[in-house]
Amino acid sequence: MKNPGKYLLNIIAAMAWQGNVAAMPVQMQMYYTGTATEQGEVAEPVVNFLKWFYHFIEKNEIYHVENMYEDGYYKISDFYFKDKPWPAPDVVQGIVEEKDEGSIFMILYRELYYRHIYARLKPTLEHRFDSYANYCELFSYLLSAEEPVKIELPNKWLWDIIEEFVYQFQNFQQFKSKAGKINEEEKSMLRDDEDNVWKVTAVLNILLQLTEKCNINQQLIAMEKGEPITEDIAGEFGMKPIYTMTGFFSLVGLLRLYCLLGDYHMALSCIEHVQFKDKDMMALVPACQITANYYAGFAYLMIRKYGNTIQLYQHILGYMQRTKQFFQNRSFQADDINKKNEQMLALLAIASTFCPLRLDESVNIQIKEKQGDKVARIQHGDMAVYDDLFFSGCPKFLSPVVSENPTSPFGSSGPRGLQLQVFKAEVEQQRLIPTLRSFLKLYTSIPISKLAKFLDMHENEVRCCLMAFKHKKEVAKGDSTEQTTMDIDFYVDKDMVHISDTKIARHYGDYYVQQVLKLKESNKLILGAALAPVVATNTV
């Protein structure tokens, strides 16, 4: 929601419906300007916000809930709680006069409350434990219901819940792995923990159950086939958007979690049926789309299917550039999104050196801007750059088990070091290929003996090298459908290498489209100017 005016109107409309018109304007003014009188500890606008929020959630008015969540919550957070937590849950319980502290409103409020602490402050161990307990309560509210729950929540919020759940788990594992920084009291708390708070299997279990509750994979398969979603496929729960969407988002959550654990096989099998185009469920929440593309692309990079990585990243980076304006209005997301953008550019730089595909002009420019010097260094054979690029692009890997004992199974380098080793093995295997490629580029046919002289290698070594080139090229292609490779192709006939001669016509399409859009824009302006007086005379 961009303008507060529209939001105001919504609230006004809702209040009018409530028969509250008289009370409205002053309240709304205070809500936005923040010149409120203090009522107890909580500022009145906040009290009003909470009351309305409570009201709309209780009445299940998703439209207003969505507005208040996507707009009001962040505005108030920015204004009143920039560096302090929202009012404690029991205070809020008093404000909205809710009797049951286990009601869904209270669970959801606590979700926001802890999330705010994680985002703006430093969570204590107690916060971590309580937040976990609250998530368990929230998910069991959904999962152990005998029949589908009545409440609906905005998609954005559902995504944020899953995302935050995985994030807090990740954060907890990192916290535990820094054994030096944990004080004695916290250590004993961790030892006494019998509920296995933030245990990796528990987290996986919850996400898996959420995907199974709504048969999300069956639903996705049916969608792929273009069949309607019936109760036979989705089940009673799967017919409700709240279950379907949490299920779908959980798939993305699992994708992320498996990637962090280095299990690329499970990561990719999670998204076996997920469509990455701009339609369908993926496009409902942009943040989800970006996360899904980032992790899927990373998994493909690790298993050396660079073609797939490039296709995914190229697409999503283009999308992010087009929608930049939209995200920049939301400072809290912009940082995260910019970071993902840079990570993907770094990974894309890696992928495109291993598998030179033709990139979109706009994406190409971005790579040159951000990683240009590194790409140049790679071309000069500087292998250390791969480490740099990998570290700036990779996610924060986790180990499934964190022990207090310093001799962890991951050695000194940690899970990140282990994944780097896997990646470096590939870099090492690809070492000779760029040189070979640059020689082949110069010829349409060349005898192996001549090539061996250039490369200062034995002839049979060159033969092996040529085969390795072909093998790597074939793997890198992956399952991507993109065919416009810029790479050379060749075959060997006894002791002669024949190389393709590929010419690439200039890309006019992008330029053309831009010009069309410009023309449209100016056309609109001119038309607008031309029409204005006509309207004016008509009214006179």
Partner 1 sequence: MVTTTTIGEKHKESQARQLQRPKAAVSDSIMNTTEKSQKQRDILLLVSKISNLLDTGLDNRSLYICIRLIEAGVHPECLADIIKDLRNESSSMGGKSVSGRPLSVRLQSSAMVMDPETQFEQMKEEAFYSMEGLGRLNPEKLDFYVDYLKFQVEHGFYDGDANLNILKLYQFSPDLITRSSIDNVHLVLTKALMQLPNSDYVYCRAQLSQDMIDDNLTKKIDDVATLLETCQFPEFWNVIQEEKIFEMTGFVEAARRFICHVVRLTYKNIEEEFLMQLLGPMEDKSEFMDIVAENNWDHNGDSVFVGHKEEMVEQKEIIEKMPIEVVTPILAIR
Output the smallest distance, CB 291 to partner 1, in A.
Answer: 15
Return the bridge partners of 498, or none: 445, 491
Closest-CA residue to 340 (of 390, 299, 291, 302): 291
Within positions 188 to 247, which residues make up the interface with partner 1, using CB under 8 A? 200-201, 204-205, 208-209, 212, 221, 224-225
If the CB atoms of residues 92 and 451 are measured against partner 1, the closer one turns out to be 451
- Cα 513-517-522 angle, rounded to 5 deg: 150
Q: How many residues make contact with partner 1 (CB under 8 A)?
A: 92
User: Whose Cβ is closer to partner 1: residue 183's or residue 201's?
Assistant: 201
In contact, 134 and 141? CB cutoff 8 Å: no
For partner 1, which residue of 76, 158, 252, 274 counts as binding (CB under 8 A)?
A: 274
395: DSSP letter: -
CA 98, 101, 102, 107 dihedral sign is positive
CA-nearest of 143, 144, 138 to 114 is 138
Q: Quote the distance between the C-alpha of residue 33 and its chain's center.
A: 33
Other C-beta atoms within 10 Å of 277: how many? 9
As measured in angstroms, the least distance from the Cβ of 44 to partner 1 is 48
- Interface of this chain with partner 1, residues 505 to 524, rule: CB under 8 A: 505-509, 513, 516-517, 520
Return the residues of window 324-343 that contact partner 1 according to CB under 8 A.
none
Question: Rounded to an integer, what distance in angstroms lies between the CA atom of residue 288 and that of residue 118?
Answer: 19
Instruction: Provide the minimum distance between the beta carbon of 264 and partner 1 in the complex, in angstroms, as a whole number.
Output: 6
Selected from 261, 320, 378, 436, the binder of partner 1 by CB under 8 A is 261
Residues 6 or more apart whose CB falls under 8 angstroms from that of 279 comprise none
Beta carbon of residue 39, minimum distance to partner 1 (angstroms, whole number): 48
Whose Cβ is closer to partner 1: residue 481's or residue 538's? Answer: 481
CB of 212 to partner 1, least distance (A): 7
Residues 297-316 that bind partner 1 (CB under 8 A): 302-305, 308, 311-312, 315
| Minimum separation from the CB atom of position 479 to partner 1 (A) | 4
Residues found in the chain: 540
The contact mask relative to partner 1 for 342-371 (x = CB under 8 A, - = no) is ----------------x-------------
Out of 26, 504, 529, 534, name the contact with partner 1 by CB under 8 A.
504
Q: Does 139 bind partner 1 (CB under 8 A)?
A: no
User: Of residues 262, 286, 356, 393, which one binds partner 1 by CB under 8 A?
Assistant: 262
| Options 4-12, 106-114, 267-275, 345-353: segment touching partner 1 (CB under 8 A) | 267-275
Q: Residue 89 or residue 297: which is nearer to partner 1 going by CB?
A: 297
Residues of span 428-487 touching partner 1 by CB under 8 A: 428-429, 432, 444, 460-461, 463-468, 470-472, 474-475, 479-482, 484
Segment lying near partner 1 (by CB under 8 A), choices 47-55, 152-160, 367-375, 400-408? 400-408
CB of 509 to partner 1, least distance (A): 5
Is the separation of the CB atoms in 254 and 269 below 8 Å? no
Strand partners, 283: none
Q: Residues 42-61: x/- map of binding to partner 1 (CB under 8 A)?
A: --------------------
Which CB atom, from 36 or from 427, has the smaller least distance to partner 1? 427
Which residues lie closer than 8 Å to 504 by C-beta, 6 or more apart?
358, 484, 486
| Rounded least distance, CB 116 to partner 1, Å | 31
The CB-of-498 to partner 1 minimum distance in angstroms stands at 5
Nearest approach, Cβ of residue 387 and partner 1 (Å): 17
Q: Would you give the end-to-end CA distance of the chain in angstroms?
A: 36
User: In the complex, what is the shortest distance from the CB of residue 52 to partner 1, in angstroms, rounded to a whole number?
Assistant: 39
Angle at 146 between CA 142 and CA 152, to 5 degrees: 40
The span from the CA of 390 to the CA of 296, in Å, is 16
Asked if 176 contacts 110 with a C-beta cutoff of 8 angstroms, the reply is: no
The smaller minimum CB distance to partner 1, of residues 125 and 270, is found at 270
Q: Which of 150, 187, 265, 524 binds partner 1 (CB under 8 A)?
A: 265
Question: Counting contacts by CB under 8 A, is residue 256 touching partner 1?
Answer: no
Element (DSSP H or E) covering residue 43: strand 42-43
Contact between 263 and partner 1 per CB under 8 A: yes
How far apart CA 21 and CA 339 sit, in angstroms, is 45
- Shortest Å, Cβ 219 to partner 1: 13
Q: Which residue has the tokens 């286990």?
A: 102
Cα separation of 400 and 260, whole Å? 9
**Interface with partner 1 in residues 71-100 (CB under 8 A):** none
Nearer to partner 1, 178 or 503 (CB): 503
Give the E-state strand segments of 58-133 in sequence order: none
The secondary structure of 275-329, three-state, reads CCCCCCHHHCCHHHHHHHHHHHHHHHHHCCCHHHHHHHHHHHHHHHHHCHHHHHC
